[in-house]
């Protein structure tokens, strides 16, 4: 396995409300390895995006990071991102420099009143110190690299003159402008039609190989996971409930939530004429977490008297994959 590039340990991020603190991320442990793709998957509201934003400390009040460490190994000396003072230059270097980020809605991430070139050139100049002329040349090169046709003309276009797919390519170009070691992509294809989505995924795969960068890809789409991932983390209600390589996860899912998610994906030819299984119920309000395993009200394999009482331990299997579930617990933290 490649070297760790980013290690998240015990991350807790909450949002203060009148009714109490909502624990959006509740003790997450994750590792992104250099040059590899980690897909973080789960239903809406499970804490995927908040985890990603916590890495770059982009959590605004009433949200706050309450605990944990986020260790960046990309520099000579590893450091904890959460321990850095707000004005530390290593934090500025991480944001948009060592770590690029692309968001779900390209149209709302680009300023409508400035040309895409101006926004790209500004990012290039901040992170590389190039003069205006060199940055414009680099901007045109980057637009060509992300597949924008006629890049020397499109560089002067406004976002509203471009399609959603093209705007997402511009966002990718901005994220890549400083040649990051890690690209965090937060549901970057959700707002796009399937054809454009496939093209953007191809583009990301090619760019990853070309730039040798790691990718943390956040999605609710298991089809995307199968296409892109080396490793997968499945999140439920602010926790990582299963971690495995993509082959392990699809061939032998351990956690009942993962199994039920996989069963609810249609398979071409197999599911004709039959109702697709769904996961019963809905994700509970995180302010009122069920006691014990928070998945137990929806779990097909829940053990009454145990799953509704005790929080399940994280079981580590041979090879390092994990699942938070009593079904695999031998009582000593190992697989049963
Ligand atoms: Fe289901 Fe119990 Fe495992 Fe939770 S701990 S996933 S309720 S079997």
Q: Which residue has the tokens 């959700």?
A: 190
Residue 256 Cβ contacting ligand 1 at under 6 Å: yes
Contact 237, 283 (CB under 8 A): yes
Strands (E), the chain: 4-17, 20-33, 37-41, 63-72, 79-80, 99-102, 182-186, 214-219, 231-236, 239-245, 314-316, 322-324
Residue 174 Cβ contacting ligand 1 at under 6 Å: no
Residue 299 Cβ contacting ligand 1 at under 6 Å: yes
Indicate the top mutation candidate among 239, 255, 261, 326 to test ligand 1's pocket, ranked by most ligand atoms within 8 A of CB.
Answer: 326
Residue 14 Cβ contacting ligand 1 at under 6 Å: no
CA–CA distance from 301 to each of 244, 245, 294, 328 (Å)? 20, 23, 13, 12
Ligand 1 centroid, distance to 296 Cα (angstroms): 6
Residue 126 Cβ contacting ligand 1 at under 6 Å: no
Residue 315 Cβ contacting ligand 1 at under 6 Å: no
Ligand 1 centroid, distance to 293 Cα (angstroms): 6
Ligand 1 centroid, distance to 241 Cα (angstroms): 10
The DSSP letter of residue 54 is: H
Contact 5, 181 (CB under 8 A): yes
Residue 181 Cβ contacting ligand 1 at under 6 Å: no
pTM of the predicted structure, to 2 decimals:
0.93
Q: Which residue has the tokens 């009454």?
A: 304
Ligand 1 centroid, distance to 290 Cα (angstroms): 12
Integer Cα distance of 99 and 34 in angstroms: 12
| Atom 8 of ligand 1, residue of closest alpha carbon | 302
Ligand 1 centroid, distance to 240 Cα (angstroms): 13
- Adjacent-strand bridge partners of 175: none
Residue 117 Cβ contacting ligand 1 at under 6 Å: no
Integer Cα distance of 197 and 164 in angstroms: 10
Ligand 1 centroid, distance to 335 Cα (angstroms): 14
Tens of each residue's pLDDT in the chain, 336 residues: 689 999 999 999 999 999 999 999 999 999 999 999 999 999 888 999 999 999 999 999 999 999 999 999 998 899 999 999 999 999 999 998 999 999 887 778 899 999 999 999 999 999 999 999 999 999 999 999 999 999 999 999 999 999 988 998 999 999 999 999 999 999 988 877 888 888 889 989 999 998 899 999 999 999 999 999 999 999 999 999 999 999 999 999 999 999 999 998 877 777 677 788 889 988 898 898 999 999 999 999 999 999 999 999 999 999 999 999 999 987 766 676
The separation between CA 260 and the C-alpha centre of its own chain, rounded to angstroms, equals: 21
- Adjacent-strand bridge partners of 30: 8
| Atom 7 of ligand 1, residue of closest alpha carbon | 296
Integer Cα distance of 255 and 32 in angstroms: 21
């Amino acid at each position: 396995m490649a070297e760790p590039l980013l290690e998240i340990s015990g991350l807790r991020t909450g949002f203060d409300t009148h009714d109490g603190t909502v624990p959006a991320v509740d003790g997450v442990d994750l590792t992104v390895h250099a040059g590899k793709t980690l897909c973080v998957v789960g239903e809406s509201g499970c804490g995927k995006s908040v985890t990603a934003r916590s890495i770059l400390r982009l959590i605004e009040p009433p949200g706050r990071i309450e605990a944990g460490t986020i260790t960046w190994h990309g520099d000579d000396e590893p450091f904890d991102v959460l321990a850095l003072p707000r004005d530390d230059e290593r934090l500025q270097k991480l944001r948009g420099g060592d770590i690029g980020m692309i968001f779900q809605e390209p149209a709302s991430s680009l300023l409508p009143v400035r040309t895409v070139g101006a926004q790209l050139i500004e990012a290039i100049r901040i992170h590389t110190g190039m003069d205006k002329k060199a940055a414009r040349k680099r901007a045109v090169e980057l637009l060509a690299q992300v597949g924008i046709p006629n890049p020397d003309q499109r560089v002067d276009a406004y976002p509203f003159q471009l399609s959603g797919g093209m705007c997402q390519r511009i966002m990718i170009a901005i994220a890549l402008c400083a040649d990051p070691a890690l690209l965090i992509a937060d549901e970057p294809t959700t707002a796009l039609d399937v054809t454009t989505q496939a093209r953007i995924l191809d583009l990301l795969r090619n760019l990853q190989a070309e730039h040798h960068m790691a990718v943390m890809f956040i999605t609710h789409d298991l089809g995307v996971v199968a296409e892109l991932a080396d490793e997968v983390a499945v999140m439920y209600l602010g926790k990582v409930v299963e971690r495995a390589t993509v082959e392990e996860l699809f061939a032998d899912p351990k956690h009942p939530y993962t199994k039920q998610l996989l069963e609810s994906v249609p398979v071409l030819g197999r599911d004709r004429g039959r109702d697709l299984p769904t996961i019963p119920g809905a994700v509970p309000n995180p302010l009122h977490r069920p006691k014990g395993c928070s998945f137990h009200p929806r779990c097909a394999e829940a053990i009454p008297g145990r799953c509704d009482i005790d929080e399940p331990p994280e079981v580590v299997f041979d090879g390092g994959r994990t699942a938070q579930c009593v079904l695999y617990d031998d009582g000593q933290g190992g697989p049963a």
